[in-house]
Amino acid sequence: MSEFAAELVGVSKRFGPVLANDGIDLAVARGEVHAVVGENGAGKSTLMSILYGLHRPDAGHILRSGTQIRLRSPADAIRHGLGMVHQRFRLFPGLTVADNIVIGAEPVTGARLDRAAAHRSVTDLSDRYGLRVDPAALVGTLPVGVRQRVEILRALYRHAEVLILDEPTAVLTPGEADRLFEVLRTVAAGGVAILLVTHKLTEVLAAGDRVTVLRQGRVTGRFTTADTTADDLVHAMVGRSLPTPVPRRATPDAAPALDVRDLTVRDADGVTRLSSVSFSVRPGEIVGLAGVAGSGQRELIDTITGLRDGGDRVLLDGTPIHPGRDPRVAYVPEDRHARGTAPQMSLAENLLMGEQRTLATRSGLPRAAVRERARDLVARFSISAASVDVPISALSGGNAQKAVLARELSRGSRVIVAEEPTQGVDVAVRSRVHALLIEARDQGAAVLVQSSELAELRELADRVLVLFEGRLVAEFGGDATEAQLGQAMTGVSA
Amino acid sequence: MNIVEWSLLAGVLTATAPVLLAALGGLICQVAGVFNIALEGQLLWGAFTAVVVSDLTGSAWAGVLGAITATLLFAGLLSVASVSLRADPIVVAVGLNLLALGLTAFLMRQIFGVGGTYSSPDLAGLPTLAELGLDLPVVGPQSPLVPVALALVAAAAWWLGRTRSGLRVRAVGQHREAAEAVGLRVGGYQHGATLVAGGLCGLAGAQLALGNVTLFSEGMSAGRGWIAVVAVMLSGVRPGRLLLACLLFGVAEAIGFRLQGVGLPQQAADAAPYVITLVALVLAAVAGRKRRGNEGEAL
Amino acid sequence: MKVLSPSVVAVAGALALTTLVMLAVGVDPALAYPALVRGAVADGNLEYTIAAFVPTLGMALAFALPLRAGEFNLGGDGQLAAGGITAAAFALLVPLPPVLAVVVPLAAGTLAGGLVAALAAPLSTRLRIPAIVSTLLISAPAVSLASYLARFPLAEQGTGIAQTPRLPEHAHLPALTEAGYVTIGLPLIVLLTGLWLYADSRTVLGYEIRATGQNREFAWYGGVRVNRVAAYALAGGGGVAGLVGGLIVLGPPYRFVDGALTAPGYTFTAVAAVLLASARPVVVPVAVALLTFLQVGGQGMEREAGVPSQLTQIVQGLIIVIVAVLATVRARRGARA
């Protein structure tokens, strides 16, 4: 029997023009926590999806305890003792914790579910690994950290011998993350092989035994954490020692372009999502917005962009924001597919949104003008597309994101709000997006960037604001360390 | 006075049964994440095939079985097109509803040689419970499919809540990707739900054409399949509430029918079930919106 | 498959399946199809076909316009009946000078149809009740109400037939043919179709309607007032349906006959035609022409070859299903390429 619980040998996978995985070899041993790191778009998620049967590789194969296996579906993967905790949880909100864990291998008496047995199994497992859950609770009512425990318990219940965790700490506070790593150590000690996918280096060094680094679909480094430094990893990840520092400009003394005064927002259930938030952004500065997911970012940004009515608490150049969409605010939304684009409409028509009334003449909306404007933006923002008439869904993710930025930045808005502006794009697009935001700032725009990637905020922002449970709990200069930000994000006052 | 009220109850049960059976099929589809608005066409197809088989064999029970089988096959079209081939279920359903309307009218002329309405002494209707020796004076002369419908609602509630396959169907409908991730064959459960709905619509059609009356007339489903769709929307996918929603329709139809007797124009009676269903739908949506608050206000 | 458009494949597939149905029930296709063609175009039948083309094209607009905004308007029958009975009421009850005697009832019918359809708009946008359900539910009572009005308050006395009296001469639509079946309704609906095609592709409203239909959140975030746009589209569709009702009533036999507006099945022939055109508006008139041809020809086929004309409904149903399937097959191919 092989010493490795699972091995990927020479795995390649292509999506259209993108070679997501290019001949990757990766082996994980029983009882080890093996970190897989790389920047967004380096091919980590694709590789893990292949190992869990969600994608089939174009080339290469998978070994399980030394024997070659074929995975056509997650069902196959589960049968072969593989388990996965997805970045976006695969849980059923309307079912109980116990049902969520046992589903697929339910204890039954006849046709009937044996719920008592299910609860017993769940309680046993959660005691053994210190993963506290209430088996009878509805998953939809649980906080994010607990949902993740349910996913881990599900994999353990199915006797996973290889456990894949895809960016498990993205939704956790640093404290919760530390507890998760303890649990993973316990699980590994029981002989399970753990693959920890992340792009956070501190985690890798704290929790991993070995590390495999991916860049642009290839393995660029293999390390043992004991004798590795963060610098080695960064070098392997980005191909240079340190990110080039972005020249910062001193915060100008101009009057604020965006002024939020004592904003409180309650949701439908009367729960306070934002309480007494006040801050301002001046022309010529980039302000970063940090916080654990669900700390009020969504509500704050929807109010600033006018999509949610904020009364007169949000001022643009001293006047209240127009409800509906205010053209003085450019907005790059987090979800490109749901909000940023209409996938089936052409690139030209996607680039038009918001400007349709300015381009209209008395006889309507001239097609030539619409195309002309689109071609101009395509050239200025170096969007690569076959033509402006193709559906935007035919563009790569990075180009679609550039198109969204092109549309928003070309309007010359005073205020720019960008949510997760580089999520799911490759390194080249990422630096291009950053350059565009910086250029807009230098031209006098007030820029607010929300990102869950602290490194991104540190690279871009002149100041960083931290939201915690709907309150603005801290403000840092652009030179804040990730540790400082992380503490503030968990409510530990700096 | 008593008699009047008891017979109203009988009318309510009779009017409710076909809608309830079809709606139960719709509910199971909804639970499995299939938006099934082809109930109208399937109900009509079920009624037609029940009449054809009963007429040919002289047995109402053969008609019931025939309707279940034939409608199951008809539902197979929806299942293949929208689950296997992933075609837009709404468009497919619109097409199938139209197909059922045309096919039944066409075949009735070919098979029975008449248009409009077909009835004949050869056509065996379902016996009443009383004829089967079950004398329940309170509910009036009901076909055996009426208690079957009520029993099926209870059975569905038990199945969805307490069994392994019920749990899995609910899981599939709640989160497709999650169901795939735990190794469930999503398509299989959705096919199953669609076919079960077909069978139930066949039963509903048999009750309509051989239980409520003993005849077939063109377009005799008369919107009941759509009322069933609304009942599913009102039910919050809970079988108990589905029964209430269908009873509401049954009451509306029975009262409308009765008021016709006291001089209300027939058009008002025709419209009553739709108006009441629509009002119930609006009230439920308003209540739901109050609960949700202004969350969706902006959109 | 690459050279053939999905519409052509759908029609061919539907006809092939229909032929199978014919063979299965013992009808000779070699007799039925020529009878169908003759029924549509021979011996002056062409005039009936053109006369049926007008309301079908109108109802196609009534379905297609809201569909562009993502709203399924299946309540065409109710909007049609409401428009028809309103137009009849105005023509009968309001004394008007010549030209206005046509214009006012048509306008009133348009308004009535638009209002009936617009009822579904807040239900869809505010209460999330799908228009496909609400338009249908509203349609049935609207048809009943029109039927009631035609049978009682507006009924022609003494005949016992469920119809209004003949409309005054001034209110008759000017005819373009000797028999009078083709009226100025034809150029009017063709003009409306042209306007819609132009508006759809080259105006701000058309763009906003399409954006709303393609991705409502995208349009909303882009500043489009999506609720209002959806309401306009539904009301506009219902308005055209109401206008069609008016055109039918103001044409021969110049009265509202209960059931005469909905019985020919314009609404669903139009739905089939629009879906057949599969999201390409310019193809809609062609698809309408084809299905009208089948529909009218089907009646000839019934007269001549004894084949029930409901066969054409089967064809329409099959076309819709096949189009839906082809759309996803094509999309998946596109995704793979």
Q: Tens of pLDDT along C154-181? A: 999 888 889 999 999 999 999 998 888 9
Q: Answer yes or no: do B95 and C321 touch at CB < 8 A.
A: yes
| Whether pLDDT at C3 is above 50 | no
Q: Which residue has the tokens 């063979």?
A: C23
| Whether pLDDT at A6 is above 80 | yes
**Contact predicate A345/A392, CB 8 Å:** yes
The CA–CA distances, whole Å, from B188 to A168, A275, B72, B184 equal 31, 48, 15, 9
d(CA B95, nearest CA chain C) in Å: 4
| Whether pLDDT at A228 is above 90 | no
Structure tokens at A406: 């092109």
In eight-state DSSP terms, residue B143 is -
The DSSP line for A97-116 is HHHHHHTTS--EETTEE-HH
User: In whole numbers, what is the pLDDT of chain A averaged over residues?
Assistant: 88
Q: Is B296 on the interface with C (CB under 8 A)?
A: yes
Residues from chain B contacting residue A338 (CB–CB below 8 Å): none
Q: How far apart are alpha carbons C236 and C258 in whole angstroms?
A: 25
Q: Tens of pLDDT along A86-145? A: 888 899 999 999 999 999 999 999 889 999 999 999 999 999 988 889 999 999 888 888
Q: How many residue pairs bridge chain A and chain C with CB atoms within 8 Å of each other?
A: 67
pLDDT at A251: 60
pLDDT at B295: 40
Residues from chain C contacting residue A331 (CB–CB below 8 Å): 221
Within a 10 A sphere around the Cβ of B172, how many other Cβ atoms?
Answer: 26
CA contacts within 13 A on the Cβ side of A466: 27
Q: Answer yes or no: do A365 and C211 touch at CB < 8 A.
A: no
Q: How far apart are alpha carbons C324 and C10 in whole angstroms?
A: 9
pLDDT at A252: 63
In eight-state DSSP terms, residue A82 is E
Per-residue pLDDT, averaged over A201-222, amounts to: 88
Q: Tens of pLDDT along C47-56? A: 999 999 999 9
Q: Give the closest residue to C311 by CA, choosing from A256, B101, A294, B144.
A: B101
| Whether pLDDT at A243 is above 50 | no
Q: How far apart are alpha carbons B17 and B148 in whole angstroms?
A: 9
**Contact predicate B82/C326, CB 8 Å:** no
| Whether pLDDT at C281 is above 50 | yes
d(CA C132, nearest CA chain A) in Å: 22
Residues from chain C contacting residue B84 (CB–CB below 8 Å): none
**Contact predicate A269/A259, CB 8 Å:** no
Q: Give the closest residue to B75 by CA, choosing from B248, B246, B187, B194.
A: B194
Q: Give the closest residue to A472 by CA, choosing from A278, A192, A194.
A: A278
Q: How far apart are alpha carbons B196 and B28 in whole angstroms?
A: 8
The CA–CA distances, whole Å, from A212 to A30, A34, A48, B154, B269 equal 16, 8, 13, 55, 74
Q: Tens of pLDDT along C209-253? A: 999 999 999 999 898 999 999 999 999 999 999 999 999 999 999
B186-206 and B145-162 helices cross at what angle (nearest 10)? 160
pLDDT at B172: 96
Q: Answer yes or no: do A356 and C207 touch at CB < 8 A.
A: yes
**CATH 3.40.50.300 corresponds to the domain A258-489:** yes
Which residue in C has a C-alpha nearest to residue A345's C-alpha?
Answer: C214
Q: Answer yes or no: do B98 and C147 touch at CB < 8 A.
A: no
**Contact predicate C145/C270, CB 8 Å:** no
The CA–CA distances, whole Å, from A488 to A293, A451, A494 equal 14, 15, 6
| One-letter amino acid for residue C228 of the chain | R
Q: How far apart are alpha carbons B144 and B43 in whole angstroms?
A: 18
Q: How far apart are alpha carbons C294 and C36 in whole angstroms?
A: 7
Q: Answer yes or no: do C308 and B90 touch at CB < 8 A.
A: no
The CA–CA distances, whole Å, from B233 to B152, B198, B250 equal 19, 18, 17
Euclidean distance between the first and final Cα of chain B, in Å? 52
The DSSP line for A169-225 is TTTS-HHHHHHHHHHHHHHHHTT-EEEEEES-HHHHHHH-SEEEEEETTEEEEEEEG
Q: Give the closest residue to B29 by CA, choosing from B297, B233, B212, B263.
A: B233
Task: Classify domain A4-238 by CATH number.
Answer: 3.40.50.300
Residues paired with A471 in a beta bridge? A468
Q: How many residue pairs bridge chain A and chain B with CB atoms within 8 Å of each other?
A: 74
Q: Tens of pLDDT along A352-387? A: 999 999 999 998 999 999 999 999 999 999 898 889
C226-249 and C76-93 helices cross at what angle (nearest 10)? 50
CA contacts within 13 A on the Cβ side of C281: 21
Residue B164: which of A108, A269, A307 has the nearest Cβ?
A108
Q: How far apart are alpha carbons A390 and B200 in whole angstroms?
A: 45
Residues from chain A contacting residue B167 (CB–CB below 8 Å): 95, 99, 103, 106, 113
The CA–CA distances, whole Å, from A98 to A95, A126, A165, B83, B181 equal 8, 11, 21, 29, 17
Q: Give the closest residue to C140 by CA, choosing from B252, A117, A66, A489.
A: B252
pLDDT at A267: 77
Q: How far apart are alpha carbons A295 and A303 in whole angstroms?
A: 14
Residues from chain A contacting residue C333 (CB–CB below 8 Å): none
Q: How far apart are alpha carbons A104 and C194 in whole angstroms?
A: 56
Q: Is B287 on the interface with C (CB under 8 A)?
A: no
Q: How far apart are alpha carbons A370 and A355 in whole angstroms?
A: 9
Structure tokens at C296: 């009218």
Give the ipTM of the model, two decimals please. Answer: 0.90
Within a 10 A sphere around the Cβ of B42, how many other Cβ atoms?
Answer: 35
Q: Which residue did the predictor score with more confidence, A292 or A21? A: A21
Global pTM value = 0.88
Residues from chain A contacting residue B298 (CB–CB below 8 Å): 302, 307-309
Residue A248: band (very low, low, confident or very high) from pLDDT cuts 50, 70, 90: low
Q: Answer yes or no: do A339 and C217 touch at CB < 8 A.
A: yes
d(CA C175, nearest CA chain B) in Å: 33
| One-letter amino acid for residue C329 of the chain | V
Q: Answer yes or no: do C221 and A352 touch at CB < 8 A.
A: no
In eight-state DSSP terms, residue A456 is H
Q: Answer yes or no: do A342 and C208 touch at CB < 8 A.
A: no
Q: How far apart are alpha carbons C141 and C153 in whole angstroms?
A: 17
Cis geometry, peptide bond prior to residue A74 (ω within 30 degrees of 0)? no
Structure tokens at A140: 């939809």
Residue A90: which of B167, B175, B185 has the nearest Cβ?
B175
Which residues of chain B are at the A interface, by a Cβ-Cβ cutoff of 8 Å?
Answer: 162-165, 167-168, 170-171, 174-175, 177-185, 292-295, 298
Q: Tens of pLDDT along A392-417? A: 988 888 889 999 999 999 988 999 99
The CA–CA distances, whole Å, from B7 to A47, A195, B276, C14 equal 68, 69, 21, 48
Q: Tens of pLDDT along A187-207? A: 999 999 999 998 777 788 888
Give the B window 223-282 contacts with C, CB below 8 Å: 223, 226, 229-230, 233, 265, 267-268, 270-271, 274-275, 277-278, 281-282
| One-letter amino acid for residue A282 of the chain | R
Residue C217: which of A327, A338, A367 has the nearest Cβ?
A338
**Contact predicate A402/A429, CB 8 Å:** yes
Tell me the CATH architecture of domain C6-336.
Orthogonal Bundle (1.10)
Residues from chain A contacting residue C202 (CB–CB below 8 Å): 363-367
Q: Answer yes or no: do B92 and C321 touch at CB < 8 A.
A: yes
Q: Which value, in Å, is the radius of gyration of the alpha carbons in chain C?
A: 20
Ramachandran region of residue A35, left (φ > 0), alpha (ψ -120 to 50) or beta?
Answer: beta
Residues of chain B with pLDDT under 70: 1-6, 137-138, 291-299
C226-249 and C45-68 helices cross at what angle (nearest 10)? 160
**Longest CA–CA separation in chain C, Å:** 69
Residue C314: which of B92, B106, B282 has the nearest Cβ?
B106
Q: Answer yes or no: do B183 and A73 touch at CB < 8 A.
A: yes
Residues from chain A contacting residue C203 (CB–CB below 8 Å): 360, 364-365
Residue B85: which of C128, C308, C328 has the nearest Cβ?
C328
CA angle B192, B194, B200 (to 5 degrees): 100
Q: Which residue did the predictor score with more confidence, A129 or A2? A: A129
User: Is the dihedral angle over the CA atoms C15, C19, C25, C31 positive or is it negative?
Assistant: positive
Residues from chain A contacting residue C223 (CB–CB below 8 Å): 324-325, 327, 353-354
| Whether pLDDT at A428 is above 80 | no
C-alpha torsion A60→A61→A66→A68, nearest 10? -140
Q: Give the closest residue to A109 by CA, choosing from B171, B155, B160, B163.
A: B163
**Contact predicate A213/A198, CB 8 Å:** no
Residues from chain A contacting residue B175 (CB–CB below 8 Å): 90-93
As a 3-state breakdown, chain C gives helix, strand, coil percent values, each rounded to 5, of 75, 0, 25
Q: Answer yes or no: do A307 and C222 touch at CB < 8 A.
A: no
User: Is the dihedral angle over the CA atoms A209, A213, A214, A220 positive or is it negative?
Assistant: negative
d(CA C336, nearest CA chain A) in Å: 8
Question: Residue ranges per domain, chain B?
Answer: 2-221
Residues from chain A contacting residue B181 (CB–CB below 8 Å): 52, 74, 84, 86, 90
| One-letter amino acid for residue C287 of the chain | A
